[in-house]
């Protein structure tokens, strides 16, 4: 599976790819790449069919390991347009790319 930089991942999302965050809800709420769709790795096996097959999927997690596992699983199940974002959310934020959190959206009391 191809690994892309945060900048390349963002470019692909801007061109129509779907950014899929495979961390757990609490991690996602702390900070996530803007426009990322949450689908926790723990739910992937039962929910992967929710992901489109007609768009490229850019997989992301905290540092790149879980998203690589998720991407491999998807490829084994017939998804052929899957890439892993190297360095994950940590690299995305370090690159200065847009992030969000539950607190910034006003979702936390």
Domain 2-100: give its CATH code.
3.40.250.10
Domains of the chain, residue spans? 2-100
Average pLDDT of the segment spanning 31-47: 97
Instruction: Please identify which residue in the block is written with the tokens 């930089």.
Output: 5
Helix, strand, coil % (nearest 5) of the chain? 45, 20, 35
Return the percentage of the chain with pLDDT > 70, whole number.
95
Beta-bridged to residue 33, according to DSSP, are 99
List the catalytic residues. Answer: 61
Average pLDDT of the segment spanning 20-33: 98
Give the pLDDT confidence of 67-108 residue by residue, as tens digits. Answer: 999 999 999 999 999 999 999 999 999 999 999 998 875 443
* Cα(32)–Cα(86) distance, integer angstroms: 15
């Amino acid at each position: 599976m191809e690994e892309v930089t945060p900048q390349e991942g963002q470019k692909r999302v801007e061109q129509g790819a779907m950014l899929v965050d495979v961390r757990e809800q609490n991690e996602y709420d702390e900070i996530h790449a803007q426009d990322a769709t949450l689908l926790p790795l723990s739910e992937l096996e039962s929910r992967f069919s929710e992901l489109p097959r007609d768009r490229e999927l850019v997989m992301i997690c905290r540092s790149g390991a879980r998203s690589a596992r998720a991407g491999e699983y998807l490829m084994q199940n017939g998804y052929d347009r899957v890439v892993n974002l190297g360095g994950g959310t940590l690299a995305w934020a370090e690159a200065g790319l847009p992030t969000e959190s539950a607190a910034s959206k006003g979702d936390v009391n």
